[in-house]
Structures are given as C-alpha cells and as structure tokens.
Amino acid sequence: MKTPVIDNLQYVNWSETVFRQLRAGGVDAIHVTIAYHESFREAVLNVSQWNRWFEQYPDLIMRGVSGDCVRKAMETGRTAVFFGFQNPSPIEDDIGLIEVWHQLGIRFMQLTYNNQSLLATGCYEDDDTGLTRFGRQAVDEMNRVGMVVDMSHSGDRSTLEAIEHSIRPIAITHANPKWWHNALRNKTDEVLRALTGSGGMLGFSMYPHHLKDGSDCTLESFCQMIAEAATRYGAQNLGLGSDLCQDQPDSVVTWMRNGRWSKQLDYGEGSATNAGFPVQPSWFTDNRDMANISAGLLKVGFAQSDVDGIMGGNWLRFYDQSFAGLS
C-alpha cells in the first residue's frame, strides 16, 4: 500500500465540491476543526452535521478514529476525517467530558486558542503562567483516553510544560518556526526542539499569516524551511497541517478570533489589515494542489522516503501510537 497523504488541520467551508477536491488531490486523511468557542451542545451539533455528511457522501468521506481508518480510506478511495477542537471550551469545566468527547470521535484538543483558558495560556496573552491545575489533570486524562494534546495556539511556557507533563507525545498541528517567519503564532526553536525531542509532531502551516512573505511566499521558500527544520529536528517528526480555510466568509474570522469573549475586533497578528482571510499562495489554493508540496520537497533535496513521511506517513505512525487509551 502506498504512503498516505494527510493534512492534519483544515477549517474549510465544507461542501461536496471540497470533498471531491480532497479526492482529486489524493488526500487520504484530514483533521478538521469541530469547535473554536462552542459550548458542549454547540459542538455536538457540529458533530451531528458531519454525521449527515458521512451519510450523504459515503463514497467520498468516512469517519476517522484510528490509524486503521486511514488504511481503510486508502483501500476504498475515500478520505478519513478526524475531529479536533481548537479550544477546550466544549469540555466546559468538567474533566469527565474529555472521555465523552473521545467517545464521540474527538482525537485532538488544543489547550488554548490564543487566550488564557481554564487549562493554559494562549500565545496572545502578555503573561504566560503555564499549565493550570485543571490543565495538568486534563493532560493526564487526555493521555489516558487517547486524545492528543495540541499546543498550536499556546504560549511558550504553557507548551513546554505540556510537553514535560504529558506522558505521551503531543502535537503542534499547524504552525511554522519563528526562525523562518517571526509571526506571533509561530514557534521558537526551543519549543520545537522540546516537541520533536520527545517524539511529538509538528504540522507545517500554509496559512499566509504564518508564511514568510505572506501570500507571496514561494513554494521553494516553504520547502527550504522544511528542509532546515528536518536538519534541526529530524524529518520523522514533521508533517503538514495546512490550516486551509477555503471558501469561508470573512465573518468566520471574527468568530475564530473573538468568539463571545470580546466586543472589540481582534484582527490577529497585531494588524488591522488582517481583518479578513488572506489570499492563499498560488501553489496551495485547495486540496488539489497537494502534489505541489511533494514535488517541492523532492526539488530541495529530500529523499523519497522522507517526502512520504512528511506528506502523511509520519502522521499515520503518530495516529497509531496516540489514539488508543492506555491499558
């Protein structure tokens, strides 16, 4: 069986058109955002919507809960869809809901989305106080049931403490190194060395605010960055987490950044020019462009085996190791 293609973070405005683009691009698995600021019930309704899509498009997509689901998707010509939260709001203040959500299919949960949460500190806060007491216990419970700790939007101290406290490798599903582009959401070398050194995974983002030169970033620049990251951290801990937000109206950005917590427009990355969604780079506008990434990686000198890992094989290994509960 061929090595899978996996994109470990998308927040697309889902439709039959996009599902067909996934198949045209040969994407075997995706991690989709089920919640940003939703309550428990609101997030359940989002799961319900996905259940309707699985019923409506059974020849294109299927529910994913384990690594074997990726293999089944590849055998049957479909895309396996894995659920994740970009904020812990759907567990509210009840640690028991972590197991409930795992039973409902959630496989990734960020401990924060930019702001301070009940669990940890987001990367937009001035003072990162690290994991809270609830946060440490939540990490323990996520470890127990088989839900991955995701620190993509968290501050450095909180991320380092999550890496240290977790007995299972964690993930930063969608970010890039700060040494390549000094965006607020990108990650320091210290964080990335700790992450990968403990067996954790980094998913490279193609969201323009995370790219050097933004929407004008070249494929060569992006792939050279991945090559440098492989030199520093090892190719086996690297994958893709495109953060693709295709076909979303700009009003969705307000929900992503503000939720209900603020009456003031939060533009993100500190600039009022970032009010809406940025234009994707020309080499990755939708899932049909996935082959551009693998071709670009080969062009900058990666061996085929390393390209296969970055394009999805490394995530599949991580899925196999992470989604089952501890005995």
The domain spans of the chain are: 6-322
DSSP 101-113: HHHTTEEEEES-S
Euclidean distance between CA atoms 42 and 47, whole angstroms: 9
- Do residues 294 and 27 lie in contact, with contact meaning Cβ atoms separated by under 8 Å? no
Average pLDDT over residues 271-276: 54
- Model confidence at 278: pLDDT above 60: yes
- Model confidence at 273: pLDDT above 80: no
- Do residues 290 and 7 lie in contact, with contact meaning Cβ atoms separated by under 8 Å? yes
Average pLDDT over residues 16-35: 98
pLDDT confidence tier of residue 277, bands split at 50, 70 and 90: confident
Tens of pLDDT, residue by residue over 32-48, are 999 999 999 999 999 99
pLDDT confidence tier of residue 251, bands split at 50, 70 and 90: low
> Looking at 101-110, 196-205, 248-257, which range is the least confident one?
248-257
pLDDT confidence tier of residue 264, bands split at 50, 70 and 90: confident
Q: Phi and psi for 107 in degrees, rounded to 5? A: -120, -15
- Do residues 117 and 157 lie in contact, with contact meaning Cβ atoms separated by under 8 Å? no
Euclidean distance between CA atoms 88 and 94, whole angstroms: 10
Q: How many Cα atoms within 13 Å fall on the side-chain side of residue 176?
A: 25
- Model confidence at 55: pLDDT above 80: yes
DSSP 256-324: HHHTTT-SS---STT-GGGSSPPPPPTT-SSGGGHHHHHHHHHHTT--HHHHHIIIIIHHHHHHHHHSS
Residues making up the chain, counted from first to last = 327
- Model confidence at 271: pLDDT above 60: no
Tens of pLDDT, residue by residue over 197-219, are 999 999 999 999 999 999 999 99
Instruction: Quote the pLDDT of residue 232.
Output: 98
Q: What is the mean pLDDT of the chain?
A: 94
pLDDT confidence tier of residue 272, bands split at 50, 70 and 90: very low
Instruction: Quote the pLDDT of residue 274.
Output: 57
In this structure, which CATH number among 3.90.226.10, 3.20.20.140, 3.30.70.20, 3.40.50.150 belongs to the domain 6-322? Answer: 3.20.20.140
Q: What percent of the chain has pLDDT over 90?
A: 87
The H-or-E segment that residue 6 falls in is strand 6-10
Tokens representing residue 50 in the block: 């996905």
- Nearest Cα residue to 206 out of 57, 16, 7, 68: 7
